[in-house]
A and B are shown apart, each in its own frame.
Chain A
Amino acid sequence: MTAAVEVRRKPRKNVVLSLVAILLSIVVFLVPFAFILLTAVKSRQEASQLDFSWPTQFQFVQNFVDVVQARDYMLIIAFINSTILTVASVSIMVVLAAMVAFVLQRRRTRWTGFVNFLVLSGLIIPPAVVPTIWVLQKLGLFRTMPGLILVEVAFGLSFCILLFRAFIATIPRELDEAAIIDGAGPMRLFFRVVLPLLKSVIITCVVVQSVTVFNDFVNPLYFLPGDQNATVQLTLYNFSSAYSTQYNLLFMDILLITIPPLIMFLFFNKRIVAGMTAGAIKG
């Protein structure tokens, strides 16, 4: 991405500015994370002082076990719940959104404008909370995992549709026509020809939405209340009131919950960047 820029310019680097920037980045961005890490491995007394200091004794294993065992292994249950929620809702979201984006981009009808309007509305309009609970209640899905999964799908569709539509526009129509001449029906055309071509944008979409759903706090709070169903964000929130004196455990929890996004970041940095800046070039 930056290679072209570098070749043309003189490679003289501004050393002073670089040092200031790096120093500031450490203070502003790294210290809070270091604080989480250090507090998570301290003993209870030491953690309660809230100092930014090197632990006198490391209790990583002890704190880890304590957090995991707290409240009958609630964190394990929460991680399972969050995994189910993320995997299910993101898979459904991606397939449904790709189908919509495909037809939306390929075929212009008098509905196209209306569908585009709905897609944008989904990005902008804040969901009406209690009426959603009312609908879920009527369907018998309130306080159930399938209910929450469908809610996440409904709220996430718009972003995925926009991402897919932009990408499908770059796939030549001739490909569709060739497949149709070879006798492929709509299903074969979409699932066997088009969908495989979307691989890179699907990865982007999956990664970005997984992080979003995994970090989501508001929707589980409203639509899936109750300890047995807690997702990781909810346990974190509950821990903060239950363990207000055991900061080492609280920060161990924060640390554990930061690991999945960190892994995503390390492996899919480029994909995430691509997805999140997709709107920048074309508003």
Chain B
Amino acid sequence: MAGLAPAAGRKRSPYPSWFYLPAAIVYAVLFLVPTVTSFYFSLTRWSIFDSQFIGFDNYVTFFREPALVSGLWHTVVYAVITSGLKVVLGLGLAVLLTSQIIGRGYLRSVVFFPVLVSTIGVGLTFTILLDPEEGLINESLSLIGIQGPGWLTDPSFALFSVALVDVWKGVGLATLIYIAGIVSIPQEYFEAARVDGATAWQNFRSIVLPLARPATFTVILLSLIGGLRSFDLIWAMTRGGPGFTSDVIASVIYKQYQAGFYGLSTAGNVVLFLLVTAIIFPLSRYLNKKEVDL
């Protein structure tokens, strides 16, 4: 105990602050510095080598260009659709996969495996499966007399289709988090409910749903964070097309970067930063507060 007293601690702490140093340097140089300077560079016309201050012109351009503004809107839609579906399907699958069911281990594995597969690989595979004429999905639908839409070629479907593939790939993680949450519910609750003659639905409504709430919060936060910055799947499947109908902020950033508009690209980054912080920080504070109330 004496070693922890302030007087002795001054001599030499067993937990030295310099342990932070290597990580802090890497993190500060490659994460904090870019994040902070992005605010300045977003106000410039910029060619990496020299930058010229132009005030809010980049933001004006960003919000005047309908293609870019729609990217902002698509980002929110995409994040909400994917995280909503992951919550609903993840919870449903987790209830199923914690119940008495044959082949439970197999089902858990098969639902989870896509999480580990390359996003680009999944994107390219589904681009082909979703091909409007020759794709497996529309060919199967036509067998039962349904004319499938041009999933990725129809402007009103493209963003939605990519979001569905995102859910296909990511629902395993949500399921896993829910399974962990449900398994940690003490069995006494279910036993008491059985004594009271509760139905399966009442079990779900009154025990699983409220007690799996921390898992729900985790799933919502993780999938919103992932959904808002999502880029690789969209890029592999549609590259923001057709037109700009599936462009999100992250793909706008890349396109402007490719076109050499570094200032504008960075402005997009700042917009994304503000969007994410405006949604995630209040939400996580709100959810954490509810958790304490529980």
Of B15, B125, B183, B254, which is in contact with the most chain A CB atoms at under 10 Å from its CB? Answer: B15
Bits for A253-274, please: 1 = Cβ < 8 Å to B, else 0.
0100110011011000100110
User: Of B62-70, B80-88, B150-158, B226-234, which stretch is located at the interface?
Assistant: B226-234
What is the size category of the interface that chain B forms with chain A?
35 or more
A interface secondary structure, majority: helix
**Could you tell me the distance in whole angstroms from the C-beta of B79 to the nearest C-beta in chain A?**
12
Cβ B231 vs Cβ A218 within 8 A: yes
- Residues A180 and B183 in contact in the complex (CB < 8 Å), given A9-B100, A35-B129, A254-B121: no
A11 within 8 A of B: yes
A88 within 8 A of B: no
Cβ B125 vs Cβ A36 within 8 A: yes
Of B16, B46, B288, which is in contact with the most chain A CB atoms at under 10 Å from its CB? Answer: B16
Binding site for B on A (CB under 8 A): 1-2, 4-5, 8-9, 11-15, 17-19, 21-22, 25, 28-32, 35-36, 49-52, 96-97, 99-100, 102-104, 106-107, 109, 111, 115, 118, 122-137, 139, 150-151, 153-155, 157, 161, 176-177, 180, 185-186, 189-190, 211, 215, 217-218, 221-222, 232-233, 236-237, 240, 247, 250-251, 254, 257-258, 261-262, 264-265, 269, 272-273, 276-277, 279-283
Cβ A283 vs Cβ B236 within 8 A: no
CB-defined contacts of B221 to chain A, threshold 8 Å? 283
- Residues A15 and B102 in contact in the complex (CB < 8 Å), given A4-B187, A50-B128, A128-B38: yes
Bits for B178-196, please: 1 = Cβ < 8 Å to A, else 0.
1111011001000100000
Cβ A5 vs Cβ B183 within 8 A: yes
Residue of B nearest to A109 (CB): B17
B interface secondary structure, majority: helix
CB-defined contacts of A96 to chain B, threshold 8 Å? 22-23, 26
Bound-complex Cα distance A226 to B109 (A) = 37
Bound-complex Cα distance A59 to B99 (A) = 43
B56 within 8 A of A: no
Bound-complex Cα distance A161 to B20 (A) = 11
Cβ A157 vs Cβ B277 within 8 A: no
CB-defined contacts of A127 to chain B, threshold 8 Å? 31, 34-35
Cβ B38 vs Cβ A131 within 8 A: yes
- Residues A99 and B48 in contact in the complex (CB < 8 Å), given A125-B277, A130-B41: no
Cβ B120 vs Cβ A1 within 8 A: no
Q: A283 is contacted by which of B26, B48, B180, B217 (Cβ under 8 Å)?
A: B217
B136 within 8 A of A: yes
Q: A131 is contacted by which of B12, B111, B136, B266 (Cβ under 8 Å)?
A: B266
**Could you tell me the distance in whole angstroms from the C-beta of A21 to the nearest C-beta in chain B?**
6
Bound-complex Cα distance A180 to B15 (A) = 11
Cβ B218 vs Cβ A133 within 8 A: no
CB-defined contacts of A8 to chain B, threshold 8 Å? 187, 191
* Extra A-B contacts (18), CB below 8 Å, given A217-B235, A250-B124: A1-B183, A13-B102, A18-B102, A22-B106, A36-B125, A103-B20, A106-B15, A126-B229, A127-B35, A134-B34, A154-B30, A218-B231, A258-B117, A276-B173, A279-B222, A281-B214, A283-B287, A283-B291
Bound-complex Cα distance A244 to B44 (A) = 39
Cβ A2 vs Cβ B236 within 8 A: no
- Residues A257 and B121 in contact in the complex (CB < 8 Å), given A127-B34, A131-B34: yes
**Could you tell me the distance in whole angstroms from the C-beta of B181 to the nearest C-beta in chain A?**
5
Q: B14 is contacted by which of A14, A139, A180, A282 (Cβ under 8 Å)?
A: A180
**Could you tell me the distance in whole angstroms from the C-beta of A195 to the nearest C-beta in chain B?**
12
Of B128, B134, B139, B270, which is in contact with the most chain A CB atoms at under 10 Å from its CB? Answer: B128
- Residues A240 and B124 in contact in the complex (CB < 8 Å), given A99-B19, A107-B13, A131-B35: yes
Cβ B253 vs Cβ A129 within 8 A: yes
CB-defined contacts of A135 to chain B, threshold 8 Å? 29-30, 33-34, 37
Cβ B22 vs Cβ A151 within 8 A: no
Q: B99 is contacted by which of A1, A14, A102, A272 (Cβ under 8 Å)?
A: A14
Residue of B nearest to A9 (CB): B100
CB-defined contacts of B191 to chain A, threshold 8 Å? 8
- Residues A21 and B118 in contact in the complex (CB < 8 Å), given A125-B35, A189-B14: no
Bound-complex Cα distance A264 to B231 (A) = 25
Cβ A254 vs Cβ B27 within 8 A: no
Bound-complex Cα distance A62 to B31 (A) = 45
Bound-complex Cα distance A187 to B131 (A) = 58
**Could you tell me the distance in whole angstroms from the C-beta of A36 to the nearest C-beta in chain B?**
6
Bound-complex Cα distance A217 to B117 (A) = 12
Residue of B nearest to A211 (CB): B116
Residue of A nearest to B23 (CB): A96
Bound-complex Cα distance A245 to B266 (A) = 36
Cβ B19 vs Cβ A186 within 8 A: yes
B110 within 8 A of A: yes
Cβ A131 vs Cβ B183 within 8 A: no
